[in-house]
Amino acid sequence: MSDRILGTVCVVVAAGMAWSAQSYVAPVSYEPVGPRSFPLLLAGLIGLIGAWLVVRPSESQGQAAFSRANLMRTGICALTVAGYALLFQPLGFVVATALMTVPVGMVFGGTWKRSLLAGVVMGITLFFLFDRVLDVVLPTGLLSAFLGGR
């Protein structure tokens, strides 16, 4: 039942994000994509995943949805995302992403070594995808000498 509630909340939040993003317009059109494309894409993904949570068949779970362990995991992930937001600019995208994936990966059952490796690979890959291919400027932070600081 909690999955369906979460799914409903996700669909509502996604609709709000999509509605809010409609007014995003660049004062000077220098990018072919524009500022509203990323929030709309994100809203679409959140909405689709939320809808899937609402309509998927129920599975019996061994744990209660609001057990102490699940609340701890959720709290760790929320604190990690808050720390990521604070460290994103000073450390840069690659380092902040690599550090964020360690506690989140461990919450989902990974070892710290595998989580760190996944974070480094994900941080570098996403940096080059967004910064170089899609021309979305990301902070380089501590690695500005290696990544051509912007």
What confidence tens digit (pLDDT) does each residue in 31-50 have?
A: 666 667 778 888 889 889 88
Confidence of residue 63 (pLDDT cuts 50, 70, 90): low
Question: Most confidently modeled of 5-9, 65-69, 120-124?
Answer: 120-124
| Whole-number average pLDDT of the chain | 82
Give the tokens for residue 29.
């059109």
Calculate the alpha carbon distances from 123 to 66, 76, 97, 113, 138 in Å.
32, 20, 5, 15, 11
Calculate the alpha carbon distances from 38 to 1, 41, 106, 127 in Å.
31, 5, 28, 15
Give the tokens for residue 36.
């509203």
Q: Are 3 and 53 in contact (CB under 8 A)?
A: yes
What confidence tens digit (pLDDT) does each residue in 97-118 have?
A: 999 999 989 988 889 999 999 9
Counting beta carbons within 10 angstroms of the beta carbon of residue 36, is it exposed (0 to 12), middle (13 to 18) or buried (19 or more)? middle
What confidence tens digit (pLDDT) does each residue in 115-141 have?
A: 999 999 999 999 888 887 877 778 888
For the entire predicted model, the pTM comes to 0.60
